Chains A and B, each alone.
Chain A
Amino acid sequence: MKINKFFIIISIYFLSISNLYSIEPDVFVQSTVNRASKVLSENLSKDDKIKKLKQIALETVDIAGIGFYTLGPIRKTLNQDQKDEYAKIFQKYFLKSFSSRLSEYTNPEIDVLGKEILNQKYTIVNSLLKETSERPEIKIDWRIYTKDPENPLIRDLIIEGLSLARTQKEEFSSILKSNNDDINVLFKSLKEFYNN
């Protein structure tokens, strides 16, 4: 009896310890948004803002995962060297594209409205980008990868129901299709983008 009680207490203790370090996906999104908003509203040069935004992306986005998802079925045909090269090139491309998109905004106000747990690995966090005098409010859903609850990561942004990861995947697919699935052409396009 005593032993049973002891195990129950021990189990509760370990459960509470593990919960202590897990981050709720909605809290994670709100905190990431707040960090980005702070950078965007700071009196910094555009270059400094971009540098800080890139750091936030490196810490909060599953860039490697998105990269291989957007590559589509061709990823199965790549050898390890090509995969490594792609991961490196994609990260540079993603960071430039991400920071360039965000740096155009000044102090965007985003409210996290709720979340929907899809399964153990994914939660969708719903948020709203508040309207300004120039554009209406925009619904943004965040696909959060929660396999490691202590380190949730962003895998997709779904803006008014339109997935950015899916759009990028179809964009890459179009480039590959028009060039006989030559991965080097995609590498070249990605390099051109981040070098310009």
Chain B
Amino acid sequence: MIKKIGIILITTLALIVNSNAASDGDLILKKNNPSEIEDCSEGFNRASFTFNQGLDKIIFKPVASAYRVLPSPIKTGVSNSLDNLTNLVTIPNNILQGDFKMAGVNTGRFVINTTVGILGLVDVAQYLGFTEYEKEDYGQSLAKAGVGPGCYIVLPVLGPSTARDTVSTFANFLGGDAWYNVTVKNDTQHFSDIDYYSSKITGGVDFRAKNFDSIENLEKNSLDFYASVKSLYLQDRQQRILNTKKIINTQDDSDWEEIENQ
């Protein structure tokens, strides 16, 4: 009970501190611009980043290395199945963002893939011509509501985040994630805690395996790997929040202009 109150208090406080209603897309874009986001606890973040790198070398990298040599249909099935589960967070966030049409599409996608697609292993919805799946989470919904990102944070084990996105993950544990509710929160007798945590760990391994070469390459060719990861994470978040396929970099050409005119 005390833990719950603590979580609610932290969530409320962080939202009050960060809350600042944005009037339009430009303001959301500006607020979530990677160069505008402060690295308030860089010392802690770098230490946490080093810890995560150690963890990656000992656990995730070797497991991902073995996982990526599995036959493609197995990897695709696992990846589809994990994506299917994320619909349970995406759908409420579609509703929170007022995108009822997409909430309907994703509900249809989830029902079809869970049943005809054998627990999500086959993305039948894609074959039926459903629009490309876009994940949504509570951090994105808060951003859309005008909540600023706050400081950049590197969480031990979980990796890069921002104050807003860290706080928003608590929403998953407070009833916002149906998968968490049926596995950990409630005793449904069909699922157990291990189903939830193993799906999260498999998700981490799947991500690491998909980006295996890119991560190795980036680490090898970076002057400051921490800064590169931070930039890539924040660019990715900015793009997800705006739900745009547009190249955000082209929205501010002032630097390039200056180079030409110098």
Contact = CB atoms under 8 A, between A and B. Distances in A.
Contacts of B259: 65, 68-69
Given A162-B236, A167-B232, A175-B227, A124 B247 contact: yes
Given A143-B247, A170-B35, A135 B227 contact: no
Interface string A87-117: 0000000000100110010000000000000
Contact of A69 (B226, B239, B248, B256): B256
B212 A161 contact: no
Nearest to A70: B255
Given A124-B250, A162-B235, A171-B231, A155 B224 contact: no
Contacts of A161: 235-236, 239, 245, 247-248
B58 to A, nearest CB: 22
A165 interface: yes
A158 interface: yes
Contacts of B226: 174
B210 interface: yes
A97 B227 contact: no
B223 interface: yes
Interface in A113-166: 118, 121-122, 124, 133-136, 141, 143, 147, 155-156, 158-159, 161-163, 165-166
Contacts of B210: 135-136
Contacts of B227: 170-171, 173-175
Interface string A18-54: 0000000000000000000000000000000000000
Contact of A163 (B72, B230, B249): B249
A172 B227 CA distance: 8
B176 interface: no
Which of A158, A162, A175 counts the most B-chain CB atoms under 10 A from its CB?
A: A162
Contact of B223 (A135, A143, A166, A175): A175
A56 interface: no
A133 B67 CA distance: 12
A166 B235 contact: yes
Nearest to A64: B259
Interface string B50-73: 000000000000000000110010
Interface in B213-238: 213-214, 217, 220-224, 226-228, 230-232, 235-236
Interface in B113-159: none
B217 A166 contact: no
B140 to A, nearest CB: 15
B72 A166 contact: no
Interface of A: 65, 68-69, 72, 75, 97, 100-101, 104, 118, 121-122, 124, 133-136, 141, 143, 147, 155-156, 158-159, 161-163, 165-175, 189-190, 193
Interface of B: 34-35, 68-69, 72, 210-214, 217, 220-224, 226-228, 230-232, 235-236, 239, 245, 247-250, 253, 255-256, 259-260, 262
